[in-house]
Amino acid sequence: MKKKGHPLLGIHSALMMIFIYVPIVLVMVYSFNNTRLSGDWKGFTLDWYVSLLKDRHVMEALMNSLVIAVVSTIAATLLGTISALSMRDIARKWRGPLNGVLYMPVIIPDIIMGLSLLVLFSQLQIPLGKSTVMIAHITFSMSYVYVVVNARLAGMGRQLEEAAQDLGATYWQTFRHVTLPQITPGIISGALIAFTLSLDDFMVSFFVAGPSSTTLPIYIYGQVKRGISPEINALCTLLILVSITLILLAQYVLNRGKGQKKHKMLPF
Amino acid sequence: MNKSKWFFTPVLIWLGLFLIVPMLIVVAMSFMQRDTLGNVVYSFSWEGYKTFWDSLYLGIYWDTIVLSITTTVICLVVSYPLAYYLANSSPRVQNWGLILITIPFWINFLIRTYAWVLLLRTQGVVNSLLIHFGWIDEPLQMLYTKGAVLLGMVYNFVPFMVLPLYVAIEQIDRRLLDAASDLGASRWKAFWHIALPQSKAGIMTGSVLVFVSTAGMFVVTDILGGSKSSMISNIIQAQFLGARNWPFGSALSVIFVLTSLILIVLFSRVMKSRSDRTREGGNA
């Protein structure tokens, strides 16, 4: 039935994968290279990782990033989940526009979101700091949580909830024992995505972070503008590994219990 | 059961306050001006938009559009065969291919851009290899060129193009292709008249994603282009974080968003009219 693909297609695809991965792998390899300046391989070392741990600025940025990521993840997960749940009870004619608003943070270019929040904070005379970064992260992360939880809700239908209510369960009992267990994988997966987005965000944070709230990506940007350094390779490697682990975990949680196939990939 | 809809209120308040209101303020601010100290003066003015007509900014604006379109076209050309190959592969290859394409989404673009500094700098990997093999004697200046910026953009946004293309190509009705070949159409004909038109939604989505993302990505020009090249987003960023001319920055932002919207609408018009023609051609 199916014709075999043209061999050139296969070769092209393999080359594309090499193109995509060589630079990333290179950063990782160089983070173990025992030389500060040269581009050649001078042997394996963990020195750069050790010096990261000793660097006060890196540790400060890491702490800022973690605090911001934890707080914004909790808030974004709550808001995103509430949006998905309550959207089902909203009159059909309102769902379109409300959906549009919820998708906006995904669509609007980061730079516009960053600068418009900067303008807002300055108009309200809110000093820039961790809290302003958190607000920004909550705003874009909740949309992603909404998308994931919404997909989960759409897939489950309402029959079980209706059955529970017919059997005399109250609204909260139904929510607690029927709805929540079914959407929990969506919520966890959404939270993991929110955490990763927050940890990785540069563009929006760049506009709304104050001098005391430098996050890891902002720190990396500052260093990268000055040129290359082996510590930055090490830091980038760590960030890459953490992000990928979190996202694969999110994917795993979402797929488990869901009869494989369908939505293998992330909502993008 | 119906009471749960009121839980949407906090969400609406949050998005109103931190999404809608800020953007409205930016639009309002674009019609104001600043005093000599950089403070915003709250009176109506076209100053921000007038400044844009300076030939310097118009040139950068034009460069931004050209760079974004070039990036989009290159991404489309290199991604389509990859997406096509994936959609045509065994489920196992598809799974792995999709995972490999999705992973870069979750690697910070700062890092992905920085990786090219390692490759392209004077003592970088590419120059070392070229010298090692004796193809060049002197290292080439590759970093801080327009080519480096274009490469960085394409590299960052190829996954944005591959995924929507894959989704569209995967959904192509294979029976039509079988029918075409049964009726004696060549592979190229079947591709041109059936596969390509049916993957148009993916081309559309991917192109819009890549175009808008490229235009807004000041970091790539910053890191790979050095001080030589800048885009409208570099200027916007500088107005807000350096030069403190917020009304001008706001005006540029409004122009940036409007240009993107207009180009998206134009593009979807073109795609639509093409599909109508194909359909008419099919009926004739």
User: Predicted ipTM?
Assistant: 0.88
Cβ distance A243 to B106 less than 8 Å, yes or no, reads yes
* pLDDT reported for residue A143: 95
What CA–CA distances, in Å, run from B76 to A129, B72, B73, B154, B205? 40, 6, 5, 10, 11
Q: Specify the CATH number for A53-255; select among 1.10.3720.10, 3.30.70.120, 3.40.190.10, 3.40.50.300.
A: 1.10.3720.10
Q: Is the pLDDT of residue A12 over 90?
A: yes
Mutation choice for B interface testing from A119, A141, A143 by most B CBs within 10 A: A119
CB contacts, 8 Å: A90 with chain B: 5, 8
pLDDT band at A117 (very low <50, low <70, confident <90, very high): very high
Cβ distance B1 to A265 less than 8 Å, yes or no, reads no
Q: What is the residue-averaged pLDDT of chain B? A: 88
Selecting from B119, B159, B216 the residue whose C-beta is nearest the C-beta of A26 gives B119
Q: Is the pLDDT of residue B284 over 70?
A: no
Q: Is the pLDDT of residue B2 over 60?
A: no
Q: Is the pLDDT of residue A79 over 90?
A: yes
Determine the topology of domain B57-283 in CATH.
MetI-like fold (1.10.3720)
Instruction: Give yes or no for a contact between B166 and B206, defined as CB atoms under 8 angstroms apart.
Output: no
Q: Is the pLDDT of residue B188 over 70?
A: yes
Q: CA of B188: which chain A residue's CA is closest?
A: A6
Mutation choice for B interface testing from A120, A122, A248 by most B CBs within 10 A: A120
The domain spans of chain A are 53-255
- The reply to whether A86 touches chain B by the CB within 8 Å rule is yes
CA of residue A225 relative to chain centroid, distance: 24
* pLDDT reported for residue A129: 95
pLDDT tens figures, B151-166: 999 999 999 999 999 9
Instruction: Give yes or no for a contact between A214 and A199, defined as CB atoms under 8 angstroms apart.
Output: no
Cβ distance B1 to A225 less than 8 Å, yes or no, reads no
What CA–CA distances, in Å, run from A188 to A106, A200, A256, B258? 19, 18, 12, 37
Cβ distance A82 to B249 less than 8 Å, yes or no, reads no
Taking the C-alpha atoms of residue B182 and residue B179, their distance in angstroms, rounded to an integer, is: 5
Q: Is the pLDDT of residue A5 over 80?
A: no
- What dihedral do alpha carbons A173, A178, A181, A186 form, nearest 10°? -110
Instruction: State the nearest Cα–Cα gap between B26 and chain A, in angstroms.
Output: 6
Taking the C-alpha atoms of residue B206 and residue B200, their distance in angstroms, rounded to an integer, is: 10
pLDDT band at A21 (very low <50, low <70, confident <90, very high): very high
For residues A109-114, give the mean pLDDT. 94
Q: Chain B window 22-81: which residues touch A at a Cβ cutoff of 8 Å? A: 22-23, 25-26, 29, 78-79, 81
Angle at A109 (CA atoms; ends A103, A112), nearest 5 degrees: 110
For residues B185-200, give the mean pLDDT. 85
How far the first Cα of chain B sits from its last, in Å, is 55
Cβ distance A120 to B233 less than 8 Å, yes or no, reads no
DSSP state of B105: G
pLDDT tens figures, A38-69: 677 888 999 999 999 999 999 999 999 999 99
pTM value is 0.89
Instruction: State the nearest Cα–Cα gap between A52 and chain B, in angstroms.
Output: 17
More confident residue, B172 or A72: A72
